[in-house]
């Protein structure tokens, strides 16, 4: 097929959706030689719609054969194509060949929140400057760039001027969530959305060496127009944490700052009304894009342009961040690839043997110790509000520089030994499908198997009172701050003899993405399958005793067991909840009788410390 026909076919297939669009793409505003992006044509007053964006990308690809390729890597719920633009200096677009050559891949994701489109327009300009004007072609001298211009394509086309009340431009934009009202930046672990499943396939195909997720902030007002987040905690492979801290962060601040943009770390104030209380620091949970990158042993850069800065400033700031990142990746290409491969090898090595002393972090919390941070803000005025009845904050344009406390780092709050593998009963098909979506290597049992396995009893679950991201979850949706994950309650490690039917799934941890499996299958991990409600039915009591039957049972049990009678009488004297509840009194005996369901609250997934004797299919 001729290339021009192919590219037109790609453009049309990418736009299969119930939306109105022109029969053909409009000609460039200034003629065939006008390579201004749609945002630049509007003087950064507007951002292009989906079909306009795809038309511009198609022009670029047609004009730069062998350097820019477009690929559709999936479809949204409404049928739109999810498109990636790949730039390679020498026409090599095979991920396996690029890995063999040691060339780093940088994956840039835009418009996951489709009202936050700064990164999309910055990337269109950057792609143009790489392959058309070629003023930035050195940025792919060693690196290969994969750009997702619009990830949340359905949300992008819920287009309007009133979608972002906090944001200063463009004139109209997309919506935060996708067609089923799911926030894709909460979906990386549970993978409910078709967009997420498609992105995970793209991730596993390209296996990026560095990941960038472009956003726009909410929250307080301050001087920074450009902020960034990098993970450097004890859950990050040490060499990568050091590179993020000592190399990437300083290079970003220096290089972007030299262009006139005010750049600093991402700001989450402890109290928006009182900046002197300092800055929060919390775990980057794997429900988020960059938290997921941590589990994949890859550096992930969160870019947050400040919502109240004008659109031109935000787009150019995002452009400079991407330019600086690519400069550094090209400079440190061999080192970055080597660090990633070493991290993958170390993760796989942990799963080859069972070592009770080898602990993997699940939960992190801020250290009590703090360090000074020079915050560039605006003077704020507080006064009572006759509208809300609360104290309101008004930001002035008067700049201030104030030193505030910030946690010195993160520490491990909950860890777990790494098993050799997990075994998931065949009946839990939704859980197995998610594991498959993450691209994990899975094995099957060839025959029924029974054995002693480590597992958990979780006896005090408490569901969040409202649905969160379409699920009834066992955590407080606190955006990664301290309350998150508190609702599951403690789980007790037990050894049980469990039976697994043929076709049950064994998840070995001697693989590069083993930490993804560990975080999904350990109940107390913040974004585990248990936390997201995949196993809610395990906690549902299905058999009950009638009161008059339990009365006879209780009297008979006390007559046969004086120690049980004494314990009951002690609990009546000490526990007001039991003393004041007839049901609780009877349940005291029911729970201790042979009629009680021994599987209630028992996690059905087993932790295997050895694969010996497990009948695996070959």
Q: What are phi and psi of 551, to 5 degrees?
A: -60, -50
Residue 7: what pLDDT? 44
User: Tens digit of pLDDT for each residue in 380-435?
Assistant: 999 999 999 999 999 999 999 999 999 999 999 999 999 999 999 999 999 999 99
The answer on 114 and 209 residing in a single domain is yes
H or E segment to which residue 207 belongs:
none
Residue with tokens 């060339």: 103
Is residue 442 scored above 80 in pLDDT?
yes
The answer on 180 and 269 residing in a single domain is yes
Domain stops at, among 370, 393, 411: 411
The Cα diameter of the chain in Å comes to 96
- Name 256's Cβ contacts closer than 8 Å, sequence gap at least 6: 226, 263, 317, 320, 321, 324
Rounded to whole angstroms, the Cα distance separating 472 from 468 reads 6
Residue 375 lies in a domain: yes
Nearest to 69 by CA among 21, 3, 121, 15: 3
The answer on 289 and 167 residing in a single domain is yes
User: Tens digit of pLDDT for each residue in 538-567?
Assistant: 999 999 999 999 999 999 999 999 999 999
Rounded to whole angstroms, the Cα distance separating 187 from 152 reads 12
Q: Token digits for 433?
A: 């499908």
- Output the CA torsion 336→341→344→350 (10° steps): -120
Give the range of the structural domain holding residue 534, as residue numbers without chain letter: 412-541+600-608
Of the pLDDT bands very low, low, confident and very high (cuts 50, 70, 90), residue 490 is confident
Residue 37 lies in a domain: no
Residue 618: what pLDDT? 84
- Name 177's Cβ contacts closer than 8 Å, sequence gap at least 6: 152, 155, 183, 184
Residue 478: what pLDDT? 66
Percentage of residues in the chain having pLDDT higher than 90: 90
The answer on 192 and 94 residing in a single domain is yes
Is residue 294 scored above 60 in pLDDT?
yes
Peptide bond connecting 170 to the previous residue in cis, omega within 30 degrees of 0: yes
Residue 487: what pLDDT? 64
Residue 348: what pLDDT? 98
CATH number at residue 76: 3.40.630.10
Residue 185: what pLDDT? 98
Residue 21 lies in a domain: no
Q: How many domains does the chain have?
A: 4
The answer on 183 and 239 residing in a single domain is yes
The answer on 534 and 524 residing in a single domain is yes
**Cβ(75)–Cβ(198) under 8 Å?**
yes
Residue 34 lies in a domain: no
Query: In 3-state terms, what secondary structure has residue 446?
Result: coil
Residue 25 lies in a domain: no
User: Tens digit of pLDDT for each residue in 593-607?
Assistant: 999 999 999 999 999
The answer on 176 and 103 residing in a single domain is yes
The answer on 110 and 88 residing in a single domain is yes
Nearest to 358 by CA among 515, 125, 572, 524: 515
What is the total residue count of the chain?
A: 618
What mean pLDDT do residues 150-174 have? 98
Residue 3: what pLDDT? 41
Of the pLDDT bands very low, low, confident and very high (cuts 50, 70, 90), residue 29 is confident
Is residue 24 scored above 70 in pLDDT?
no
Is residue 31 scored above 80 in pLDDT?
no
CA angle 17, 21, 27 (to 5 degrees): 135
The answer on 274 and 194 residing in a single domain is yes
Query: In 3-state terms, what secondary structure has residue 101?
Result: coil
Residue 21: what pLDDT? 34
Of the pLDDT bands very low, low, confident and very high (cuts 50, 70, 90), residue 2 is very low
**Cβ(301)–Cβ(242) under 8 Å?**
no
Q: Mean pLDDT for the chain?
A: 93
Q: What are phi and psi of 272, to 5 degrees?
A: -60, -25
H or E segment to which residue 40 belongs:
helix 38-41
The answer on 262 and 370 residing in a single domain is no
Residue 450 lies in a domain: yes
Rounded to whole angstroms, the Cα distance separating 603 from 455 reads 6
What's the predicted TM-score (pTM) here?
Answer: 0.93
Residue 465 lies in a domain: yes
**Cβ(377)–Cβ(275) under 8 Å?**
yes
Of the pLDDT bands very low, low, confident and very high (cuts 50, 70, 90), residue 484 is very low
User: Tens digit of pLDDT for each residue in 192-215?
Assistant: 999 999 999 999 999 999 999 999
What mean pLDDT do residues 582-596 have? 96
Residue 28: what pLDDT? 78
What mean pLDDT do residues 350-361 have? 94
Of the pLDDT bands very low, low, confident and very high (cuts 50, 70, 90), residue 180 is very high
The answer on 377 and 329 residing in a single domain is no
The answer on 343 and 226 residing in a single domain is yes
**Ranges of H-type helices in 308-365:** 311-331, 333-350
């Amino acid at each position: 097929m001729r290339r021009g026909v192919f590219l037109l076919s790609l453009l049309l297939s990418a736009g299969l959706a119930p939306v109105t669009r022109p029969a053909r793409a409009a000609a460039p505003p200034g003629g065939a030689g006008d390579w201004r992006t749609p945002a630049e044509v509007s003087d950064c007053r507007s951002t292009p719609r989906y079909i306009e964006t795809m038309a511009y990308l198609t022009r670029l690809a047609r004009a730069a054969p062998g350097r820019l390729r477009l690929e559709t890597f999936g479809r949204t719920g409404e049928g739109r194509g999810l498109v990636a633009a790949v730039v390679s200096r020498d026409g090599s677009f095979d991920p396996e060949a690029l890995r063999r050559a040691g060339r780093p891949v940088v994956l840039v994701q835009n418009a996951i929140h489709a009202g936050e489109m700064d990164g999309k327009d910055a990337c269109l300009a950057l792609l143009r400057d790489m392959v058309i004007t070629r003023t930035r072609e050195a940025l792919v001298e060693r690196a290969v760039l994969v750009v997702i211009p619009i990830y949340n394509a359905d949300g992008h086309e819920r287009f309007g001027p009133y979608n972002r009340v906090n944001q200063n431009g463009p004139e109209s934009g997309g919506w935060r969530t996708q067609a089923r009202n799911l926030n894709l930046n909460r979906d990386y672990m549970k993978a409910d959305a078709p967009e997420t499943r498609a992105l995970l396939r793209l991730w596993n195909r390209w296996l990026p060496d560095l990941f960038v997720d472009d956003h726009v902030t909410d929250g307080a007002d301050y001087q920074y127009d450009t902020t960034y987040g990098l993970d450097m905690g004890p859950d990050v492979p040490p060499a990568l944490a050091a590179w993020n801290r000592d190399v990437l962060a300083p290079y970003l601040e220096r290089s972007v700052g030299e262009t006139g943009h005010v750049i600093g770390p991402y700001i989450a104030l402890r109290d928006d009304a009182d900046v002197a209380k300092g800055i929060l620091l919390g775990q980057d949970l794997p429900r988020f894009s960059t938290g997921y990158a941590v589990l994949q042993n890859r550096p992930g850069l969160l870019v947050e342009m400040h919502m109240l800065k004008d659109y031109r400033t935000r787009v150019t700031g995002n452009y400079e961040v991407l330019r600086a990142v690519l400069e550094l990746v090209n400079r440190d290409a061999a080192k970055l690839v080597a660090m990633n491969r070493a991290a993958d090898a170390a993760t796989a090595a942990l799963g080859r043997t069972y070592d009770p002393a080898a602990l993997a972090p699940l939960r992190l919390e801020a250290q009590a110790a703090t360090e000074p941070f020079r915050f560039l803000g605006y003077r704020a005025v507080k006064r009572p509000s006759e509208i809300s009845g609360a104290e309101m904050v008004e930001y002035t344009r008067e700049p201030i520089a104030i030193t505030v406390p910030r946690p010195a780092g993160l520490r491990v709050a909950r860890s777990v030994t790494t098993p050799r593998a997990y075994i998931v009963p065949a009946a839990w098909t939704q859980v197995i499908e998610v594991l498959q979506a993450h691209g994990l290597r899975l094995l099957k049992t060839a025959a029924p198997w029974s054995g002693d396995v480590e597992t958990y009893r979780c006896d005090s679950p408490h569901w969040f009172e409202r649905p969160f991201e379409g699920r009834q979850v066992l955590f407080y949706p606190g955006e990664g701050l301290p309350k998150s994950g508190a609702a599951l309650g403690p789980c007790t490690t037990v050894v049980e003899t469990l039976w697994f039917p043929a076709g049950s799934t064994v998840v070995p941890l001697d693989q590069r993405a083993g930490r993804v499996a560990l975080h999904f299958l350990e109940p107390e991990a913040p974004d585990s399958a248990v936390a997201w409600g995949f196993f809610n039915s395990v906690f549902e009591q299905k058999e009950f005793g009638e009161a008059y039957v339990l009365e006879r049972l209780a009297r008979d049990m006390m007559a046969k067991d004086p120690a049980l009678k004494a314990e009951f009488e002690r609990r009546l004297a000490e526990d007001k909840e039991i003393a004041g509840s007839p049901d609780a009194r009877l349940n005291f005996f029911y729970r201790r009788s042979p009629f009680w369901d021994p599987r209630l609250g028992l996690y059905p997934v087993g932790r295997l410390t050895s694969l010996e004797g497990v009948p695996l299919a070959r």
